[in-house]
Chain A
Amino acid sequence: MTHHPGKDEIAAALQAMTDESGLWQRQSDRLDALLITLTGAEITDFPKTFIFDGLLAQYNAVAEDYKSICVDGRDATGAIATALTAVAGVYDDEERRNLHAILDLY
């Protein structure tokens, strides 16, 4: 006889997925906050004089690249969080519709 997971097991599994999604969302939020922090690290308001011009331009390019990667990171980690939340939502919805038991697929 096939063992079907009970409601508690399903609830625990869905909670694990929701927690995992939250883990990624927190990283996305953290990277989003970092973007604001990084804006303060740029030196764009400095007078362009003397021997430092090229240096500051190069530094700002590095900071800009770093920010760009953080934007990618925020979006990627956010997308993973969203995907996991969606998976949990679909699974929960199909469980409510008894689809897992009907298809014998858990």
Chain B
Amino acid sequence: MADDMLAAQAARYEQTIAGLRDAHARFRDEVLPRVAAVTNTVHHLPFYVPFRGQITATADAARDDLNAFEKLFTEMMVPVLLPRRLWHSAQIWTEVREQMSAVAGDLAITNREIQVRWRGAAETAYESIIPAHIAAATQLATNADAIQLALSWGGSSAATFYTALLAILLAGTAAILTALATAVAVAGALGPLGGLGGIVLLAMVAAGLFSQLASLVNTGADAYGRMRIWMNELRSEMHDNSALPNGTWPAARQEWFKDGSVADHDADWSLEH
């Protein structure tokens, strides 16, 4: 059931990745060149335009903002496959938890034949070491489960992050195209003042995109800050836990029960008879 949900989530995310790549390509290869063309047009208008300086400065700022946005977006796309990787690792930790639980279960069997057949100081010592190993395996199964949960949550958070990024890009692209349609009127029928409105709109869209991106990055950073705290706590738990002394598996203590000889005139392992 959990696997099915994960598979569905992963399939949805594949669509998000495809959407991001398409939208990014369109933004980079179609939108930005059009913004650059409009900016260039504003710079070279062959007739008098009131506030020419302000208009060109605004257009330049919008172009520069959108180029910077695209650069940041490109950087943000580098780890776009992270959710897939986190989910994959989460599945591995599920397997680790199952195996570690099996270790604990196997060691925790009752009515061991060795306890029925043998007596003596060594047998007593041997019995005394078993609970520590069961506890270690049990604790590690719990830790594996916590790691699995953290990774699953992290993958879902990252997927949400990129889904939101796609929404910002799609909405931003639509807004830019609208602004451009208005801005081209600088050289068209609506005249310079109509064009000015388009340039201002373009600048507002560019600034808005940055603002949304910054907000999204902050949200993502908060989520990953929490996950880092979670990882720190998990690590601390593995280092400071009675079941895992100093972050290690309990010692074998075989020196307590390894004497099977009676040549030293004692039977540390003696038969029940």
Q: Is B89 an interface residue (CB 8 A)?
A: yes
Interface string of A20-33 (1 = CB under 8 A from B): 10010011001101
In the complex, what's the smallest C-beta–C-beta distance from A9 to chain B, in angstroms? 6
> How far, in angstroms, from A51 to B227 measured CA to CA in the complex?
12
The residue in A12, A52, A88 that gathers the most chain B C-beta atoms within 10 A of its C-beta is A52
Q: How large is the interface on A (under 10, 10 to 19, 20 to 34, 35 or more residues)?
A: 35 or more
Partner of B252, one of A58, A63, A79: A79
Contacting residues of chain A (59-79) with chain B, CB-CB under 8 angstroms: 59, 61-63, 65-66, 68-70, 72-73, 75-77, 79
Contacting residues of chain B (119-144) with chain A, CB-CB under 8 angstroms: 122, 126, 129, 133, 136-137, 140, 143-144
Q: Is B250 an interface residue (CB 8 A)?
A: yes
State the total of A-B contacts with C-beta under 8 angstroms. 186
Secondary structure of the A side of the interface?
A: helix
> How far, in angstroms, from A15 to B114 measured CA to CA in the complex?
9
Q: How large is the interface on B (under 10, 10 to 19, 20 to 34, 35 or more residues)?
A: 35 or more
Partner of B258, one of A30, A43, A46, A83: A83
Q: Are B252 and A55 in contact (CB under 8 A)?
A: no
Q: Are A83 and B254 in contact (CB under 8 A)?
A: yes
Q: Are A65 and B112 in contact (CB under 8 A)?
A: no
**Chain B, residue nearest A31 (CB):** B103
Q: Which residues of B contact A (CB under 8 A)?
A: 75-76, 78-79, 82, 85-86, 89, 92-93, 95-96, 99-100, 102-103, 106-107, 109, 112-114, 116-118, 122, 126, 129, 133, 136-137, 140, 143-144, 147, 150-151, 154, 158, 217, 220-221, 224, 227-228, 231-232, 234-235, 238-239, 244, 247-252, 254, 257-263, 265-267, 269-273
Beyond the given A16-B117, A19-B114, please list 10 additional residue pairs across the A-B interface where CB-CB is below 8 A.
A5-B273, A13-B117, A23-B107, A55-B227, A58-B228, A66-B147, A76-B249, A83-B254, A87-B122, A106-B273
Q: Which residues of A contact B (CB under 8 A)?
A: 3-5, 9-10, 12-13, 15-17, 19-20, 23, 26-27, 30-31, 33-34, 37-38, 40-43, 46-47, 49-52, 54-55, 58-59, 61-63, 65-66, 68-70, 72-73, 75-77, 79-80, 82-84, 86-91, 94, 99-100, 103, 105-106
